[in-house]
Amino acid sequence: MKNDLTKIVISGEGGQGIQTIAKVLAESFKDSGFYVSYIPQFGPEQRGAPSISFIQYSTKEIKYPRFYKADYLIVLRERAIPATTTFINSKTKVIFDSSTIRSNIIKQSENKKEAVPATKIAYELFGEKNLNLVILGYLTKYFSLNKNDVWKIISRNLKKKFAKNDKLEDEAKKAFFYGYEIVAEKKIFSKPTFKTEKRIIYTKNDKREAIISPELCKGCGICIEKCPVGALKFSDEIGVYGNRIPEIDIDKCIACGNCFRFCPDCAIKVNKKK
Amino acid sequence: MTKTIDKNFSMPKCFNERSKPSLYCPGCGQSIFLKHLGFIIDDLEIQGKTTLGIDIGCSLLAWNFFNFDIVQTHHGRSVPVAVGYKLSNKRRIVMSIMGDGGGYAIGLQSLLHAAFRNNPISVFVLNNTGYSMTGGQMAPTSIPGEITTTSPSGKDPKNSGKAFHGPELIKQISDNSAYIARASVSNPIMLQKMIKKTLENQIKNNSFSFLEVLTPCPTNWKTTASESFNFLSKMEKEFPIGEMTKNEK
């Protein structure tokens, strides 16, 4: 192994599981006999704010956990890019999520970029919460760690979450091992299909009309909870935080206005036609 | 059929459209409150003469929420700033929005003295039973038995006290003309009426008006939409909703 210090920055949105990835990676480096330092950078405790974690591993002792230029930068959301551009220098290798980020936004030469369409994979195969495990699987292979050892650390870290729901562990395990097998995209990247579209979803019948704005919806689910007739349910459309947004069954709807009254982000409205 | 829909289709007119989607978490009760506040400001047509003082905490995320004057103050000091503003410019309608940390913990003395002096401002305190921006620590308003990051085995009333009841305290020292009430986000129609009364009391009676709003915090309670509203109804048992009236002798 090299004697050098290796510096890794992992960044994304708060709520994506960035700190879980970083913690598991740090513990696996420690178990493979390296000196490791891991420090998270927290902003306000808020969903959607950029979340960054700093990892270093080395065969020698590490003196200080912060650094200013990274050897590897992992970016999972477009919103986190402004906060991480300062860590890029000419040698930095960038791994990004090509299903949510356009490759030309990242200012780094083409041969230093790699991409995994992790959000797409997680949505289509395992459910959106497993995004971080897909990435973690990929990184396990990237840093040539033993996948079974890493999985043990994951199940130790997520024990509480797995205890609530049995299905969760199976899905997580599948997502992790799928991530391990992924071959990254190089130079030719897939298009960011999992981005919020600037449009308004307009549904109508002869009595009423409904408007939903994916640009504003954060997917809290309050409208679905508060609908008295169950006319709303989650659809496959993507909202502003990479969440699922509700769709309306306009024939069931009674235009009571509850969804409009409770929506925190002014993303839905139903009108009666006169 | 093509129909052009205004981008502003469901927002109040006084909202700053460019700041949306707002900085609040998904399902935040504060943005529900701010939306209804916006509708009332539209309704009373006071957008041009309103000033809003905001505090440290999640309430500061409203710094570009509206298209009117907003003052960012120190922690717990949005009431004194609002009082000063009102004293210097009596024609303005001055509001102050705080969290329960700013209103009942660090800024309680400012709030009490503003109520005692009967300064004509409208104060909104948003109660979500915890310090949310720093990660959900236990606050004076946490209800007994509530699990937070600093009370992992539930809040013990022996050491940490019962839940803090703000409006009930302010009622004891305030003037008879003051309007004091508690509303909840779970009933938006009642919330709108109470916000309207809080602002009208400042405009018409020229006296102190205070409204506490119970809001959910799904991020720190770690709840889904339905669980948040279940917890909110538990809060409503601890903090009874309604207008506080003075006992007349």
pLDDT in tens, B29-46: 999 999 999 999 999 999
Across the interface, do B35 and A266 touch by the CB < 8 Å criterion?
yes
pLDDT at B4: 42
Within a domain: B92: yes
| B140 vs B148: CA distance, rounded Å | 12
Within a domain: B219: yes
Q: Which of A161, A244, A262 to mutate to test the interface with B (most CBs of B within 10 A)?
A: A262
| Residue of chain A whose Cα is closest to the Cα of B184 | A262
- Residue A241 has its nearest CB partner, among B26, B135, B229, at B26
Within a domain: B8: no
Indicate whether A43 pLDDT > 70. Answer: no
pLDDT at A102: 82
Query: Of A63 and B39, which is predicted with more confidence?
Result: B39
Across the interface, do A264 and B27 touch by the CB < 8 Å criterion?
yes
Is residue A5 very low, low, confident or very high in pLDDT (cuts 50, 70, 90)?
confident
- Residue A262 has its nearest CB partner, among B20, B132, B188, at B188
Across the interface, do A211 and B10 touch by the CB < 8 Å criterion?
yes
pLDDT at A219: 87
| A182 vs A161: CA distance, rounded Å | 25
3-state SS of A200-248 is CEEEECCCEEEEECCCCCCCCCHHHHHCCCCCEEEEEEECCCCCEEEEE
Within a domain: B211: yes
Q: For A148-196, give the DSSP string.
A: HHHHHHHHHHTHHHHHH-HHHHHHHHHHHHHHHHPPPB-SS-----SS-
- Residue A46 has its nearest CB partner, among B5, B219, B229, at B219
| A117 vs A130: CA distance, rounded Å | 13
Chain A residues in contact with B28 (beta carbon < 8 A):
220, 264
pLDDT at B249: 45
- The minimum CA-CA distance between A7 and chain B, rounded to whole Å, is 28
Within a domain: B11: no
Within a domain: B205: yes
Chain A residues in contact with B25 (beta carbon < 8 A):
46-48, 218
- What is the span of the domain harbouring residue B145? 22-243
Indicate whether A97 pLDDT > 80. Answer: yes
Indicate whether A44 pLDDT > 70. Answer: no
| B100 vs A241: CA distance, rounded Å | 28
Chain B residues in contact with A48 (beta carbon < 8 A):
23, 25-26
Determine the straight-line distance between the first and last CA of chain A, rounded to whole angstroms: 75
Residue pair A260/A267 in contact (Cβ under 8 Å)? The answer is no
pLDDT at B246: 65
Chain B residues in contact with A216 (beta carbon < 8 A):
20-21
Question: Looking at the DSSP assignment, which residues form a beta bridge with residue B112?
Answer: none
For the segment A179-236, what is each residue's pLDDT rounded down to a tens digit?
Answer: 888 888 887 787 777 666 677 888 888 888 888 888 888 888 999 999 999 999 998 8
Within a domain: B248: no
Across the interface, do B26 and A218 touch by the CB < 8 Å criterion?
yes
Strand order in the sheet with A208-212: A201-204, A208-212, A268-272
Query: What is the dihedral angle through the alpha carbons of A80, A243, A166, A136, rounded to the nearest 10 degrees?
Result: -30
- Residue A225 has its nearest CB partner, among B28, B133, B229, at B229
pLDDT along chain B (249 residues), means of 10: 53 86 88 93 92 91 90 92 94 92 91 93 93 89 92 91 91 90 93 94 92 93 91 92 73
Chain B residues in contact with A260 (beta carbon < 8 A):
10
What is the average pLDDT score of chain A? Answer: 85
For residue B150, the domain's CATH number is: 3.40.50.970
Q: Which of B9, B56, B137 to mutate to test the interface with A (most CBs of A within 10 A)?
A: B9
Number of domains in chain B: 1
Q: Which of residues 127-146 of B touch A (CB under 8 A)?
A: 132-136
Q: Is A93 helix (H, G, I), strand (E, B) or coil?
A: strand
pTM: 0.84
CB of B184 less than 8 A from some CB of A = no
Percent of chain A predicted with pLDDT > 90? 9
Within a domain: B68: yes
| Residue of chain A whose Cα is closest to the Cα of B25 | A47
Indicate whether A3 pLDDT > 70. Answer: no
pLDDT at B3: 44
> What's the mean pLDDT in A234-259?
86
